[in-house]
Structure 1
């Protein structure tokens, strides 16, 4: 097979650019912790099932509700996620990490007070491992006063990508509410 000189030069240049690109360029960064990318109808919600996405988040189990602007108070931005759609669900996002680096995960937690039980429960998972169980008592809360509380935990990455997931352990169609998820690398701190 014979290549013309310009085609060979273009192929060589492309190979050099690929080799010069940073190793992490092909991976993704953590994004959309406030569930804003896909818009749910204002003053309403969208029920999503396994395989459907909310921006970079994937529904990996059961169903969840993406809550639109005005339906109830969001902790940050306009939208939030009820981890129970028609039943308990799970959302997950995979993002690039540096093995050996400590990361801090923070998020705001509330609960859907429309249905019992009053105490909503769930867990935060890293690569399928339960890293933090959580509960939220909706007693005295309302759509205009959700009572969000901040939660924080940290993990040390073991792989070049990590999957963060949040799952409801609550029965029924009204579960824990999640918003304002943030992941921050803290390579120089022993514990965050």
Structure 2
């Protein structure tokens, strides 16, 4: 028993129609499935347990790039992470910047959420830095490490929104202090706003 060409063409059109209809539905899911923002907890690659991996400009941390200066990828057990096992000190031997580019829909508003702490092992007590979108400063941040320890880092949540200008957006975090003890970021998330709540 065989299908007629007419019936096969009808089935093909039905399948093609389903595919065309599925595309907007998938796009409507927004960042939940499509932003391709990844590894906001700096889990890849693995740093040595109870230690850290220093990284300099030009090196990568999974989907993140060290854009300038140096940073330390903190391994499991070295200090408390906000999420997962690892976190990132934005100061390695000096102030550093990390960036990640991801897919966005122009004109769409996105929310960036992250956990902030600071390296309590050295001065200054007030760790400062900036969150960047496409190289532009979108949020200044600071964290006072007074009374904080490796076992009790005291992470706080930070959030800001931006409107995507292009099909790809670059999120960055940079330290604005000198020395080897910087602000610490972890659990970075990017979500499409439907709607946004600041």
TM bucket (normalised to shorter chain) is 0.7 to 0.9
> Which residue of the partner structure matches residue 114 of structure 1?
121
From 62, 66, 79, give the equivalent of 1:59: 66
In structure 2, how many angstroms separate the alpha carbons of the residues matched to 1:50 and 1:168?
14
CA contact (8 A) 1:102 1:191 kept: no
> Which residue of the partner structure matches residue 77 of structure 1?
84
Tell me the TM-score normalized by structure 1: 0.84
Give runs of aligned pairs for residues 1-40 of structure 1, distance below 5 A: 29-40=36-47
Following TM superposition, where does structure 1 have runs of at least 4 consecutive aligned residues deviating by more than 3 angstroms? none
SS in structure 2 of the partner of residue 115 of structure 1 = coil
**Larger-Rg structure:** 2
> Which residue of the partner structure matches residue 195 of structure 2?
189
From 100, 104, 107, give the equivalent of 2:111: 104
Deviation by residue 1:6-30 (Cα, 9 ceiling, x = unmatched): xxxxxxxxxxxxxx9x7x9xx9710
RMSD: 1.9
> Which residue of the partner structure matches residue 128 of structure 1?
135
In structure 1, how many angstroms separate the alpha carbons of the residues matched to 2:76 and 2:197?
36
Measured after TM superposition, the shift of residue 191 of structure 1 is 5.3
In structure 1, how many angstroms separate the alpha carbons of the residues matched to 2:179 and 2:124?
8
From 47, 50, 57, give the equivalent of 1:43: 50
> Which residue of the partner structure matches residue 155 of structure 2?
148
Deviation by residue 1:81-111 (Cα, 9 ceiling, x = unmatched): 0000000000000000000100000000000
In structure 1, how many angstroms separate the alpha carbons of the residues matched to 2:191 and 2:177?
28
**Unmatched segments (≥5 aa) in structure 2:** 1-19, 28-33
Measured after TM superposition, the shift of residue 164 of structure 1 is 0.1
Measured after TM superposition, the shift of residue 37 of structure 1 is 1.3
In structure 1, how many angstroms separate the alpha carbons of the residues matched to 2:35 and 2:56?
23
Whether 2:169 is the aligned partner of 1:162: answer yes
Kindly tell me: are residues 191 and 86 of structure 1, through their superposed partners in 2, closer, same or farther at Cα, counting changes over 3 Å? same
Q: How many pairs does the alignment contain?
A: 170
Tell me the TM-score normalized by structure 2: 0.82
